[in-house]
């Protein structure tokens, strides 16, 4: 018998979330972001549900090969472009579109021998200061690319640092719009937060949006808004079972470091899930969890293989009861991953990506 922990991927929820993004930006095409193995879900597991996207965007050339191996003939975009000159051969062979964010990548393209000219996405650093050409250098980079026989078409892209936050995107949109005003080519600016929060502006929607986290059923601007506000559905459930019950007396403590002390008699369930499964160790007493679909709380510290939960709101629960660490319980009750991540001082992105290899994963349906 394996441990009862299990991750379940929900294809219907992926389809629903994609449709939500489509409805928010009806005139834009959608890059489904499947980097980091589809945010921890597994590219092969989400592929079918996300076929309705217009393209797949990712970082890793091996992941691009996996998408082609699944039979996808449409666009694939390498969001960071190529990492060394010979990667361009794979781009030619697999027809990958690639970002160009630095001079070195243009040098490599200029030296690349290919029968198939490439489609590139020239990236502007409009304020995030991660990748891309500054507005001052962007146009000369464009002119260099435009002169290359290796380049068929140049699209223009940038990435927002604060689409989910009070600072917003106006300063970056302005820098991008001013610099690219008379340049031809398709535009791509928006991640999930921009696509949902700022989509009324056609400039922000551009020709292609690039949503990741909203596709995977997490609110990009939690806690300001939650998935119910954005009508998104969880795409990953982490579930397990109670493998032991303890009856505590006042003064009894729970787990390493005795960080929780009962002040009254308390029944707790010990659950087969720990930080070695990818559950965040920084989650402490009070982190929400569902037992038999009923919301309760974690008590004490997370250990490698176990956590303890308060069984007070679920008196009928006991050995073998179903526990939902995040996602959707059997009765349909939802525990948004955003709430668990916030309790652990992190983001849903990290939790999804950190799902440990030892956790078995199934695709619903």
Ligand X SMILES: Cc1ncc(COP(=O)(O)O)c(C=O)c1O
Distance CA(199)–CA(53), nearest Å, equals: 18
Q: Alpha-carbon distance 73 to 305, whole Å? A: 42
CB of 210 to ligand X, least distance (A): 4
Sequence-ordered alpha helix ranges (H) in the chain: 11-24, 35-39, 43-50, 61-69, 87-94, 103-111, 135-146, 170-180, 192-197, 202-205, 227-230, 337-343, 348-353
The one segment of 12-20, 205-213, 245-253, 290-298 that binds ligand X by CB under 6 A: 205-213
- Residue with nearest beta carbon to ligand X: 212
Q: Could you confirm whether 256 is annotated as catalytic?
A: yes
Nearest to 127 by CA among 155, 165, 154, 98: 165
Query: Which one of 113, 123, 256, 349 is the catalytic residue?
Result: 256
295's enclosing H/E stretch is strand 294-299
**79 binds ligand X per the rule CB under 6 A:** yes
| Selected binder of ligand X within 211, 274, 300, 336 (CB under 6 A) | 211
Please report whether residue 25 would count as binding ligand X according to CB under 6 A.
no
Rank residues 176 and 275 by Cβ distance to ligand X and give the closer one: 176
- Minimum gap (Å) between residue 334 Cβ and ligand X: 20
Burial class (CB in 10 A: 0-12, 13-18, 19+), 200: exposed
Work out how close the CB of 216 gets to ligand X at its nearest, in angstroms, rounded to a whole number.
8
Buried b (16+ CB within 10 A) or exposed e, 279-290: bbeebbbebbbb
Place of tokens 């690639």: 98
Residues 35, 275, 279, 349: which is the catalytic one?
35
Q: Minimal distance in Å, beta carbon 178 to ligand X? A: 21
Judged by CB, which is closer to ligand X: 10, or 35?
35
Give yes or no for residue 81 binding ligand X (CB under 6 A).
no
Identify the residue among 155, 191, 235, 296 touching ligand X (CB under 6 A).
191
- Between 60 and 252, whose beta carbon lies closer to ligand X? 60
In the numeric block, the tokens 């005003």 are attached to: 181
159 binding ligand X? (CB under 6 A): yes
Q: Does the protein bind ligand X through residue 210 (CB under 6 A)? A: yes
Strand 6-9 and strand 334-335: the pairing is unpaired
Tell me if residue 35 is catalytic: yes
Binder of ligand X out of 8, 192, 233, 284 (CB under 6 A): 192
Output 76 or 273, the one with its CB closest to ligand X: 76
- How many CB atoms are located within 10 Å of the residue 2 CB? 9
Shortest distance (Å) from residue 47 CB to ligand X: 18
- The first and second tokens of residue 252, run together, are 């009894």
Could you say which residues in the range 297-326 bind ligand X, by CB under 6 A?
Answer: none
* Contact flag: residue 235 with ligand X (CB under 6 A): no
* Residue 220 binds ligand X, judged by CB under 6 A: yes
Q: What is the DSSP letter of 133?
A: B
Q: Which stretch binds ligand X (CB under 6 A): 206-214, 225-233, 300-308, 329-337?
A: 206-214
CB 291 within 8 A of CB 317: yes
Q: Which is nearer to ligand X, 33 or 359 (CB)?
A: 33
How far is the C-alpha of 301 from the C-alpha of 6, rounded, in Å? 21
Output 210 or 241, the one with its CB closest to ligand X.
Answer: 210
The 3-class secondary structure across 90-130, one letter per residue, is: HHHHHCCEEEECCHHHHHHHHHCCCCCCEEEEEEECCCCCC
Does residue 127 interact with ligand X by CB under 6 A? no
Q: Which is nearer to ligand X, 123 or 328 (CB)?
A: 123
CB-CB contact of 128 with 159 (8 Å): yes
CB of 39 to ligand X, least distance (A): 7
Q: Nearest 5°: phi and psi at 82?
A: -90, 155
In the complex, the smallest distance separating the C-beta of residue 164 from ligand X, rounded to whole angstroms, is 8
Helix (H) or strand (E) holding 288, with range, is strand 288-291
Q: How many residues bind ligand X (CB under 6 A)?
A: 12
Binding residues vs ligand X (CB under 6 A) = 33, 79, 159, 191-193, 210-214, 220
Catalytic residues: 35, 256
């Amino acid at each position: 018998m394996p441990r009862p922990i299990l991750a379940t991927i929900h294809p219907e929820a992926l389809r629903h979330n994609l449709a939500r993004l489509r409805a928010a930006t009806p005139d834009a095409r959608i890059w489904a972001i499947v980097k980091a193995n589809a945010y921890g879900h597994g590219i092969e597991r989400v592929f079918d549900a996300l076929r309705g996207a217009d393209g797949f965007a990712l970082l890793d050339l091996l992941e691009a090969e996996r998408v082609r191996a699944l039979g996808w003939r449409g666009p694939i975009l390498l969001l960071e472009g190529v990492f060394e000159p010979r990667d361009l051969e794979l781009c030619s062979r697999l027809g990958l579109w690639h970002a160009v964010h630095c001079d070195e990548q243009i040098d490599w393209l200029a030296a690349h021998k290919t029968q198939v000219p490439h489609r590139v996405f020239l990236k502007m650093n409009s304020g995030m200061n991660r990748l891309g050409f500054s507005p001052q250098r962007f146009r000369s980079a464009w002119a260099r690319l435009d002169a290359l026989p290796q380049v068929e078409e140049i699209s223009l892209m940038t990435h927002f640092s604060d689409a989910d936050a009070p600072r917003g995107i106006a300063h970056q949109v302005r820098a991008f719009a001013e610099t690219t005003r008379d340049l031809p080519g398709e535009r791509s600016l928006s991640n999930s937060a921009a696509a949902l929060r700022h989509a009324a502006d056609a400039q922000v929607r551009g020709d292609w949006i690039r949503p990741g986290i909203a596709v995977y059923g997490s609110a990009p601007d939690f806690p300001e808004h939650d998935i119910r506000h954005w009508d998104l559905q969880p795409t990953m459930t982490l579930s397990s079972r109670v493998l032991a019950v303890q009856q505590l007396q006042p003064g009894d403590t729970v787990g390493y470091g005795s960080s929780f002390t009962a002040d009254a008699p308390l029944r707790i369930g010990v659950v087969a899930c720990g930080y070695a499964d990818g559950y965040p160790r920084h989650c402490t007493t009070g982190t929400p969890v569902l037992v038999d679909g009923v919301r309760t709380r974690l008590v004490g510290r997370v250990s490698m293989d176990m956590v303890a939960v308060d069984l007070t709101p679920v008196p009928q629960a006991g050995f073998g009861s179903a526990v939902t660490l995040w996602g959707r319980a059997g009765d349909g009750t939802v525990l948004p991953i955003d709430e668990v991540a916030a309790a652990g001082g992190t983001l849903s992105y990290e939790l999804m990506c950190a799902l440990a290899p030892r956790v078995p994963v199934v695709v619903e349906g």
